[in-house]
């Protein structure tokens, strides 16, 4: 299904995307789930990464796939074996939903759906996970807004946006507009904006002095003004680091 037309991007938005992709090529982490386009492997990583730090998931991801190397292996496994393999990650409902997803996909002649709307019909798959699997496995031009991405978009484009449902929809609309139309750049962009939120534009501190997009970010610009001795209201950021060191 073709993606709906998005509003034309401003020059700042285009520069944001260009700078972000350039930074990611130089600084993106080599994570095991970034080396595959297997939708099952991507689904395993996304379920594990829900409310769990990357460093912890890295230790479980490979072992889990060794034990359940395909969606069919996971679908046929005893529930107790799946729970045992998940031991230590917590939030065991994720393991239950992942196995239910595997059972449903294993029963389909065409395997994993490739579009976000169809992926959302699978057990345990919400808007973010659907976009992530569609993009990271099938290189669909789909937004994938997790907490890191939402924080980056709010700070960069909507620093005074509230928390109403309409505000959340606006964040998603901005994310959709930013994602490149071509598959491989879309994959890179979604990985890059997540990486920025995880490493630089974090919840605890916005490291504006280290940020590759600070020149086209509304919060970053305010941080630069503050660093030069001016006054600027810092909306949406609990703490800022305008300078390195």
Q: Is the pLDDT of residue 238 over 80?
A: no
Q: What is the pTM of this model?
A: 0.88
Mean pLDDT to the nearest integer, 74-90: 97
Judge whether 56 and 50 are in contact, CB under 8 Å: no
Domain ranges in the chain are 11-30+143-227, 38-138
* Mean pLDDT for all residues in the chain: 91
The confidence score (pLDDT) of residue 7 equals 55
Judge whether 135 and 128 are in contact, CB under 8 Å: no
Q: Is the pLDDT of residue 173 over 70?
A: yes
Judge whether 119 and 130 are in contact, CB under 8 Å: yes
Pick the CATH number of 38-138 from 3.40.640.10, 3.50.50.60, 1.10.340.30, 3.90.870.40: 1.10.340.30
Neighbours of 29 (CB within 10 A): 12
Pick the CATH number of 11-30+143-227 from 2.40.50.100, 3.30.70.940, 1.10.1670.10, 1.20.120.450: 1.10.1670.10
- The Cα 15–Cα 239 span in angstroms is 25
pLDDT confidence of 244, banded at 50, 70, 90? very low
Residues annotated catalytic, as ranges: 46
Per CATH, 11-30+143-227 and 38-138 having the same topology is answered no
């Amino acid at each position: 299904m073709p993606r709906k037309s998005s509003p034309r991007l401003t020059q700042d938005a285009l520069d944001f995307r260009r700078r972000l992709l350039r930074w990611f090529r130089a600084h993106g982490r080599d994570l095991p789930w970034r080396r595959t386009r297997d939708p099952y492997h991507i689904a395993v990583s996304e379920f594990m990464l829900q409310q769990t730090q990357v460093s912890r998931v890295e230790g479980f991801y490979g072992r889990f796939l060794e034990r359940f190397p395909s969606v069919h292996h996971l679908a046929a496994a005893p529930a107790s074996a799946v729970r045992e393999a998940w031991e230590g990650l917590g939030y065991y409902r994720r393991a239950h939903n992942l196995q239910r997803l595997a059972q449903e996909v294993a029963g389909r002649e065409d395997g994993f759906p490739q579009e976000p709307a169809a992926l959302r019909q699978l057990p345990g798959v919400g808007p973010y996970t659907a976009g992530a699997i569609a993009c990271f496995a099938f290189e669909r031009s789909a937004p994938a807004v997790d907490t890191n991405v939402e924080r980056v978009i709010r700070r960069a484009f909507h620093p005074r946006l509230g928390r109403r449902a309409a505000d959340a929809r606006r964040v998603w609309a901005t994310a959709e507009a930013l994602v490149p139309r071509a598959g491989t750049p879309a994959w890179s962009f979604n990985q890059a904006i997540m990486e920025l939120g995880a490493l630089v534009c974090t919840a605890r501190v916005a490291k504006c002095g280290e940020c590759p997009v600070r020149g086209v970010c509304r919060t970053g610009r305010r941080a630069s003004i503050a660093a030069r001795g001016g006054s600027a209201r810092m909306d949406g950021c609990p703490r800022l680091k305008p300078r390195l060191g």
